[in-house]
Structure 1
Amino acid sequence: LDHIRREGIPPLITFGQMRGMIHVHTTWSDGKNSLEEMALAAKSLGFEYIAICDHSQSAAYAGGLSIERVRQQRADIDTLNARGLGIRILHGIESDILPDGSLDYPDDVLAEFDLVVASVHSHFNLPAPEQTARILRALAHPATTILGHPTGRLLLRRNGYQVDIEAILAAAARTGTIIEFNVNPYRLDLDWRYHQRACSIGVRFAIDPDSYRADLMNELSDGIFLARRRGLRPSAVVNTLPVDAFLDMVAAQRQQKQLLRGAA
């Protein structure tokens, strides 16, 4: 309160500042709309780029992409970008974090993606020390751009897994890993209690709809309202970056993690 009295209320994120629609799914895995349909829907909402992050190969229940299909999808994205839809399509993946904390493809395949959202989709009942160690290992991987839905909760359906959030946030700050604020109304994950703590130690957020249908991407506008309630500023949200700046951030993050890995 003293800071607010001295400096005034800081400017908070607005929907109009959002340039990137990050973490959406398509018919390549378990989404309901095609690459082109998702891209055009994001364009209609005013976005400059969209990051397609379909499920990885271990998520067989969700049509996860084999390595062969990853490369086929990349070719389709290249074709659409060459056509010029008026929005840039980035080729990402939502990689499962495996039980030992490794990611779901070999390193050379992971390096081909424009970004990687790493998420836990199995083994939710591990004890807190094991679950935390699992996620910390994933955060340290050079390919991990964003930690997806950090506690895995589904509101009114499933509690989040047991994990040391303070340790996760500290590791995110150290490695430059982005924390997802997943604004799917069934998730709203990361919980509101941790946003200001994260910002205070330099963690940045990606505000993502995790949409499986084109018409659900507009839930992001509600997510921005909630982000404002949590005090998020534009500088703390990577979706506000222009596409080239976003890709430069990913490249710098990977380089930083390689250096940290080499020093370990």
Structure 2
Amino acid sequence: MTDGVTQPPRTWQRYTLDQKLLRFGIYLAMVLAVVQSVRYVNIIPEFLADAPEQMVDLFNRMWPIDWAYYPQDVNSALIETIHIATLGTIIAVFLAIPVGLLAANNYTPNRFLNFIARLILVSSRSVNSLVWALLFIAIFGPGALAGTLAIAFRSIGFVGKLIGEAIEETSVGSIEALKASGASKGALLNYGYWPQIKPAFWSLVLLRWDINVRESAVLGLVGAGGIGMTLDTAMNLFQWERVAVILVAIFAVVILAEIVITQVRKRIL
């Protein structure tokens, strides 16, 4: 009671009226988006109902797996796939480092250069690796070169963006001390920024290589070299026993790459 007037009891509410309306609007937008997507995807009910039977039939065609086909074409294609991923990652890292440095506004305090660098990074990430592969196939022809460049140009945006963000998140203490001693840009990078971003740098390089191994496995479907070309040939010829051994090989490489990445991270980081 205050000044003789009884205050009404307060009731606790988890969300205010504005928050409730906002949540309702978000949920409604999500439902409408799903409904519109289902309408335009044009799902055919007959095909959907028949899918389990078709899957069983496909797996029956894949069995028994043609293991004898592995040493003929699969092994060499698999090695080429790993080479595409590795070389593409190395090229991407060398190209992404200067772009990432230009994108970091604390290392490069120039808005125009920051804008150009970020435009390059966004352009790289906005184009899918398959589209990059088709572009380089048109320029250099089908083969591993197109696949390697596609992996590299797709990875520049990923690696450069994270390098730039890691540099921007560095502590300013050691940087200011180096600047006060008259250190050059190179000294700032080597002794100020690099020790702080080193764990993040190696982590993202290993992660990107892991991703590129997966992506390079499918680039061959458009003619960019690697095991994807072998898979595409076997599927076009309806050689499902060979398709099975190729899929098993791709799965094994992905698992092996994950194990390698885990062990390397433990030793480097």
TM-score, normalised to structure 2's length?
0.23
Q: Give the structure with higher Rg (CA).
A: 2
Greater per-residue helix proportion = 2
TM-score, normalised to structure 1's length?
0.24
Higher relative contact order (CA 8 A, sep 6+): 2
